Amino acid sequence: MVEPLDALRALTEADRWIDRVVAQRDHLPEHAELATLEEELRALLAALHEAQAVLEPRRAAYLVAQETARKHAARRDDLERALRTSTGSGRELAALQHELDQVRARVAAAEDEELNLLLELEPLEATVSDIKERAQPGVARREELRREIADLRATLDEEIVALREAREERSRALEDVWRERYDAARSRVGGAGAAFVDAGRCDGCRIALSPLDADRFRHLPAGQVMECPECGRLLLP
18 and 77 assigned to the same domain: yes
pTM for this model (two decimals): 0.71
Rounded mean pLDDT of 4-17?
A: 94
Structural domain contains residue 10: yes
Window from 3-7, 15-19, 44-48, 70-74 with minimum mean pLDDT? 3-7
Contact of 192 with 186, CB cutoff 8 Å: yes
Instruction: Identify the domain boundary among 143, 159, 174.
Output: 174
Rounded mean pLDDT of 74-97?
A: 87
Instruction: Identify the domain boundary among 155, 174, 193.
Output: 174
89 and 202 assigned to the same domain: no
Q: What is the CATH number of the domain that holds 107?
A: 1.10.287.1490
Q: Is the pLDDT of residue 122 over 90?
A: yes
159 and 215 assigned to the same domain: no
Please enumerate in sequence order all residues whose Cβ is within 8 A of that of 174, keeping only pairs 6 or more positions apart, or say none.
Answer: 4, 7, 8, 11, 182
What are the pLDDT digits (tens) for 123-160? Answer: 999 999 999 999 999 999 999 999 999 999 999 999 99
Identify the H or E element spanning 116. Answer: helix 90-172
The amino acid at residue 159 is E
What are the pLDDT digits (tens) for 189-221? Answer: 988 999 999 999 999 999 999 999 999 999 998
Structural domain contains residue 156: yes
Question: Distance (Å, rounded) from C-alpha 166 to C-alpha 17?
Answer: 11
Predicted confidence at residue 2, as pLDDT, reads 56
Question: In sequence order, what are the beta bridge partners of 226?
Answer: 235
Structural domain contains residue 209: yes
Q: What is the dihedral of CA 179, 185, 191, 197, to 10 degrees?
A: -100
87 and 165 assigned to the same domain: yes
188 and 109 assigned to the same domain: no
Q: How many CB atoms lie within 10 A of CB 51?
A: 19
Predicted confidence at residue 223, as pLDDT, reads 82
Instruction: Identify the domain boundary among 159, 174, 189.
Output: 174
71 and 83 assigned to the same domain: yes
Rounded mean pLDDT of 33-50?
A: 97
103 and 22 assigned to the same domain: yes
Range of the domain at 56: 6-174
Structural domain contains residue 22: yes
Predicted confidence at residue 1, as pLDDT, reads 41
140 and 30 assigned to the same domain: yes
Predicted confidence at residue 87, as pLDDT, reads 77
Structural domain contains residue 1: no
Structural domain contains residue 143: yes
156 and 230 assigned to the same domain: no
- Smallest Cα–Cα separation from 214: which of 191, 181, 237, 233? 237
The amino acid at residue 94 is A
The CA distances from residue 157 to 21, 150, 164, in Å, are: 9, 10, 10
161 and 68 assigned to the same domain: yes
> What domain count does the chain have?
2
224 and 188 assigned to the same domain: yes
Question: Distance (Å, rounded) from C-alpha 78 to C-alpha 162?
Answer: 85
Predicted confidence at residue 180, as pLDDT, reads 94
The CA distances from residue 162 to 102, 131, 213, 222, in Å, are: 87, 47, 38, 33
227 and 124 assigned to the same domain: no
